[in-house]
Amino acid sequence: MTNHIIPAIGNVKLDKLTATHMRRVHDGILAKGLSSTTALLAHRTMSASFKIAIREGRLSRNPAMLTAAPRKANVQLDVLDLPESLSLLEHTLETPERIVWATYLLTAARRGEIIGLERDRVSDVLDLSWQLQRIPYVHGCGGRCGRRFGGDCPDRTISVPVDYESRHIAGGLYWTRPKSNKGWRIIPLVDPLRSVLERHIHTAPENPHGLVFTRPDGAAYDPKVASAEWRTIMKAKFGEDRAVRLHDLRHTTVDLLYLADVPEDLIQEIVGHSSRTMVQEYKSLRNQVRLKSGMQQLSALLAEFSTPALPAASLELVAP
């Protein structure tokens, strides 16, 4: 709204908006060198806003419906292959501070799920029912200070959405539930990750939040800081040419699960990102047995192709 929509059409009265104005927003975004996906998001934002205006009697029709929405850009993601994944595992298992990155690779978890992982949710399963998020600051003055963002307001405050199930950590950091039930996952914990996490929890200093992974000073990870550190890890390991985002490790793990011949329905449950996932079934004992078998197939794949430099103890496969 602030960067793209208001500068383009903010001075046009609602009942004067036309398809030309919608295209002005689209074209302005593309002229900045941004992707058509950004233009699509702006279009959807305008459409949702105009629906509210119609409901309030301020408009008689939705101007965003007068023109075609931009198409979502086709983005080619950069993911790690099997040799690169093994090399990354070796690199991240060398020191305790890097184990957090190995955990992402071996679980296909989202960014906030691992940096928000609590010690009491690690046992023979990994409970990914909460994620760490930063809730943005908003104006405490109602915008009267004239500053653009709530974080700049001298009376700034944090407004947690009423539909969020959340627990406060510190500052603007909160544990929140995943957006949908299918994102709420409990996956079996098998070696090598099981041994690594048990050793890490046993040796790492306690912290007031009960987190598995923290910053060196014991503070919780900010999501943006986690992403920045990940980029540093990638640069150190693979150089400037690789652009594998932290979230893209989920795609790498999915590729590895396919290579390990894990059935597709189990991959969908492990990753928690499919409409075919049966939300309640993954909690049953029968399905936990299948899920554990799938995770062990992934470990077996890594053990089979690992280099001698990878710590043998960390790749010991637990018998079913």
* Residue partners of 91: CB distance under 8 A and separation at least 6: 98, 233, 237
- What pLDDT, on a 0 to 100 scale, did the predictor assign at position 182? 61
- What pLDDT, on a 0 to 100 scale, did the predictor assign at position 23? 96
How far apart CA 87 and CA 241 sit, in angstroms, is 16
Residue in the block written with tokens 């702006």: 42
Find the helix or strand (DSSP H, E) in which 1 lies.
none
Q: Is 133 helix (H, G, I), strand (E, B) or coil?
A: strand
Which of 166, 98, 158 is closest to 132 using CA atoms?
A: 166
- What pLDDT, on a 0 to 100 scale, did the predictor assign at position 289? 59
Show the domains of the chain with their CATH numbers: 5-66 (no CATH), 82-126+182-315 (1.10.443.10), 136-171 (no CATH)
Whether 155 contacts 138, CB under 8 Å? no
Q: Which residues pair with 125 in a beta bridge?
A: 188
- What pLDDT, on a 0 to 100 scale, did the predictor assign at position 259? 82
Q: Where are the beta strands (DSSP E) in the chain?
A: 125-128, 131-134, 137-138, 157-158, 166-170, 173-176, 185-188
The backbone region for 171, taken as left when phi is positive above 0, alpha when psi lies in -120 to 50, beta otherwise, is left
pLDDT per residue of the chain (320 residues) written in tens, 0 to 9: 989 999 999 999 999 999 999 999 999 999 999 999 999 999 999 999 999 999 999 999 999 999 999 998 877 777 888 888 888 888 888 788 889 999 998 888 999 999 999 999 999 889 999 999 998 888 777 667 777 667 777 888 887 878 788 999 998 999 998 776 666 788 888 888 888 899 999 999 999 999 999 998 999 999 999 999 999 998 888 887 778 888 888 888 888 888 888 787 777 777 775 444 333 333 333 355 566 777 778 778 777 776 554 544 444 433 33
Handedness of CA 233, 238, 241, 244 (dihedral sign): negative
The 10 Å Cβ neighbour count of residue 164 is 12
* Residue partners of 116: CB distance under 8 A and separation at least 6: 130, 131, 132, 133, 169, 175, 211, 220
How far apart CA 303 and CA 312 sit, in angstroms, is 9
> Helix crossing, 99-107 with 249-259: angle to 10°?
50
- What pLDDT, on a 0 to 100 scale, did the predictor assign at position 285? 37
- Measure the CA dihedral 86/89/91/96, to 10°: -170
Backbone φ and ψ for 77, nearest 5 degrees, come out as -75, 145
pTM as predicted: 0.72
